[in-house]
Structure 1
């Protein structure tokens, strides 16, 4: 069972449009409403794969109630921390070539009491799941060190923790020793303070995060696949994508695929790649089911060539 923590969940509305014309009246060719937030999406992907998952998240107002209802319908058990503020709503606009425009609301400001209750809820549940995935941005009211506190409490209770966040929240959490961190290429570059132009530079950046406390690094490199650097070695993998429909939640689907396959080694990396590639070919933030996966197309290389250039085109 995988428990996810999403401090800043959202209700996500996705519209597909023929083109994005500023100042025009746009007529959508498709639309959907999904529960959102990185940890929420991980839980949705875990449930779509047929595994057990619980989502811990602060919820408030009508959007919060609808998120809980939608997650329950998708087979996700919800442990809600009721807050005074209203859960945010986000908007995504997707064009036919996969270009995504997102409008993310800031979300409510959590009180000190709500923050403490969220941490305690995670600590109480930490003894049961095989992994805890703590994901996403921090809402107003939570300091950058909040994830470090969560990691320390969860690991103290015997849980393995995967962390998917960025910026000061990521760097502050590294000394607490998360078992896995999952940055994308730009987040990895930001964490080490330098641009990454080759696969070798990405490997060295991942090794630096490990030296600062992370047990393993699973880095999404967009069109260049994914990189896993851990005590077991360095592995790079790719999975072909025929057409990008939406990359919303694809990185979260990838993390889910990694964790449900044990959360370690090339086999888990292959699952992550298959889930991520399937997700970008689905509408909105739809999560892939086993029928959507094409594991036979995944390619994994150990100790990849360090001089391989990284492209600037991102998928997730």
Structure 2
């Protein structure tokens, strides 16, 4: 399996574990991690941790960008960097013992028109050798919401399948180019259809509407409730128990990596997605799970979707 990832707005992520987050106080961290960040970057990290080949395409600039590339290379990931003038952003996350996470995400550099085009050209250059292209995360300043749509169109023209994990206007614009898989969470799904979601049945209906707008398959993360898969092969719901949530940073990205590495369709891939996501939330910072961290036997998959079950965290 060869998975190409695209991260238009990567980051250098620092995660601090603290006993308690007290506003206005001096906090002493009990743990610290520095990781390459960004949703597509995390997908590549999870794919590599699972033993598959991955190439990570992203704009990189300045000392933070150089460190991101160095850290990824150390994890066995091939990096296809697009040099940009502005420095790669640095993000901060503060994790509390109960799993509460406070994040500060920097805006990132503003890309020029030439840098935007070079990023698209680099993706196209590597598309032909990829089983899947995972396009993930927010767009940096300088890229319009149409950028992901252009990327999907180019990838399809090269014969590649595309999984898209973004939201808002960027998602709506890209749906017109019919991405093979989209991966919203409950809030992003509610935003896409313009109404709140209170039950799993509401999420199923919203996913069906997103398919009508152009998505081939919808893999929807419903937080602690589990995940939905709505596609041509049917509708499935899957969940797994989690003993302790340590950090949810990158858990959705690990889930997408598991889904794509398992073929990207059907209940088997959904089970792999849930196993990866459940393992990721029990690891510190944005550590990606290895096969040894997974517990596939704990995952339950069913086509008898509990439509009336209220969502633990309703989406508005």
> TM bucket by the smaller chain?
over 0.9
Q: Residue in 2 aligned with 1:294?
A: 295
Distance (whole Å) between structure 2 residues aligned to residue 97 and residue 312 of structure 1: 17
Cα shift at 1:313: 7.8
1:64 touches 1:87 (CA, 8 Å); kept in 2? yes
1:10 touches 1:89 (CA, 8 Å); kept in 2? yes
Q: Residue in 1 aligned with 2:128?
A: 127
Q: Residue in 1 aligned with 2:158?
A: 157
Distance (whole Å) between structure 2 residues aligned to residue 225 and residue 306 of structure 1: 13
SS at the partner of 2:230? strand
Distance (whole Å) between structure 2 residues aligned to residue 22 and residue 265 of structure 1: 46
Cα shift at 1:200: 1.1
Distance (whole Å) between structure 1 residues aligned to residue 69 and residue 36 of structure 2: 8
Distance (whole Å) between structure 2 residues aligned to residue 88 and residue 171 of structure 1: 26
Q: Residue in 2 aligned with 1:49?
A: 50
Distance (whole Å) between structure 2 residues aligned to residue 90 and residue 306 of structure 1: 38
Distance (whole Å) between structure 2 residues aligned to residue 239 and residue 70 of structure 1: 31
Cα shift at 1:264: 0.3
Q: Residue in 2 aligned with 1:250?
A: 251
Q: Residue in 2 aligned with 1:191?
A: 192
Cα shift at 1:311: 1.1
| Unaligned segments of structure 2, at least 5 residues | none
Cα shift at 1:295: 0.3
| Partner deviation per Cα, 1:219-264 (whole Å, 9 max, x = no partner) | 0000110000000000000011000000000000000000000000
2:198 touches 2:314 (CA, 8 Å); kept in 1? no
Q: Does 1:279 align with 2:277?
A: no
Distance (whole Å) between structure 2 residues aligned to residue 313 and residue 257 of structure 1: 25
Distance (whole Å) between structure 2 residues aligned to residue 246 and residue 222 of structure 1: 13
SS at the partner of 1:197? strand
| Partner deviation per Cα, 1:65-112 (whole Å, 9 max, x = no partner) | 000000000011000000000000000000000000000000000000
Distance (whole Å) between structure 2 residues aligned to residue 312 and residue 251 of structure 1: 16
Q: Residue in 1 aligned with 2:20?
A: 19
1:223 touches 1:313 (CA, 8 Å); kept in 2? no
| Partner deviation per Cα, 1:127-169 (whole Å, 9 max, x = no partner) | 1110000000000000001000000000111000000001111
SS at the partner of 2:56? strand
TM-score after normalising by structure 1: 0.98
Displaced runs of 4 or more, over 6 A: none
Q: Does 1:211 align with 2:212?
A: yes
| Unaligned segments of structure 1, at least 5 residues | none
Q: How many residues align?
A: 314
Q: Residue in 1 aligned with 2:72?
A: 71
Distance (whole Å) between structure 2 residues aligned to residue 231 and residue 36 of structure 1: 33
TM-score after normalising by structure 2: 0.98
2:133 touches 2:162 (CA, 8 Å); kept in 1? yes
How do 1:164-179 and structure 2 match up within 5 A? 164-179=165-180
2:259 touches 2:272 (CA, 8 Å); kept in 1? yes
2:196 touches 2:314 (CA, 8 Å); kept in 1? no
Distance (whole Å) between structure 1 residues aligned to residue 166 and residue 215 of structure 2: 13
1:222 touches 1:313 (CA, 8 Å); kept in 2? no
What is the Cα-based RMSD across aligned positions, in Å? 0.9
